[in-house]
Amino acid sequence: MIALPDLQRTKEGWEMQFATNHLGHFALALGLHGALAVAGDARIVSLSSVGHQRSPVIFDDLNFTSRPYDVGLAYGQSKTAAVLFAVEATRRWGSDGITANAVHPGTIAATNLMRDLDPDVLAHLRDSAPYAETFDASKVRYKTIEQGAATSVLVATSPQLDGIGGRYFEDCNQARILAPGAPLTSGSGVAAYALDPANANRLWELSLALLGLKQ
């Protein structure tokens, strides 16, 4: 789910993008843990986005109850959560032969993923991007569906990644880590906060509590 123009919450009160892009997948992964462990050498591909650069997970206000709703920030924190999940899943489940990595597939226009984006919202996202000052829509490299799937397929199948997890990939390569506090002026790379082990553990524990699960 990407860029809901208005604040929407689930019946539990969770912001919809965070609930859909993180909590739902988190619950699914926990439900599959036993089967993945039995399978041996299992891999999880967590779909993130360069949009994670817009925001870390704001633990004190996940659901925009005390700050104005911002479509880019909401999407950004949900995609940061996808990276943090990969970090912590690998730490917790590596001994079970399970690894997880996060992937940015690229900009793909040939699906209905952006069905909620009207031109005004798209313009807002563009202008509020961390790299907005250097943004040039004419230079955006759109990928085909096949090209967009390539990094996910690589991470899921390549022998070069046997036993490797907790990382973020884009364009079929591991992404460079952006220095903490550095201005996010490009459309590539992974923010350091998205790979932070303390953030990853905190998100995991919070997610368990929100869902009423134990692990």
Q: Which of 75, 131, 142, 193 is catalytic?
A: 75
Per-residue pLDDT reduced to its tens digit, 8-62: 999 999 999 999 999 999 999 999 999 999 998 999 999 999 889 999 999 999 9
* Cα separation, 9 vs 62, whole angstroms: 11
Per-residue pLDDT reduced to its tens digit, 125-160: 445 444 444 434 444 567 787 888 899 999 999 999
Residue 96 has pLDDT above 60, yes or no: yes
Report which of 157, 168, 184, 171 is spatially closest to residue 108, judged by C-alpha positions.
Answer: 171
Q: What is the dihedral of CA 95, 96, 97, 101, to 10 degrees?
A: -80
pLDDT of residue 110: 58
For residue 150, the tally of other CB atoms under 10 A from its CB is 16
pLDDT of residue 179: 80
* Cα separation, 121 vs 209, whole angstroms: 33
Convert 172-185 to b/e letters by CB count within 10 Å (16 or more is b): eeebeebeeeeeee
pLDDT, mean of residues 88-116: 83
Q: What is the mean pLDDT of the chain?
A: 86
Domain range list for the chain:
16-211
**Catalytic status, residue 142:** no
Q: Span 16-211: which CATH code?
A: 3.40.50.720
Residues with Cβ within 8 Å of 59's Cβ and at least 6 positions away in sequence, in order, are 202, 203, 206
Report which of 5, 37, 50, 41 is spatially closest to residue 159, judged by C-alpha positions.
Answer: 41
Residue 2 has pLDDT above 80, yes or no: no
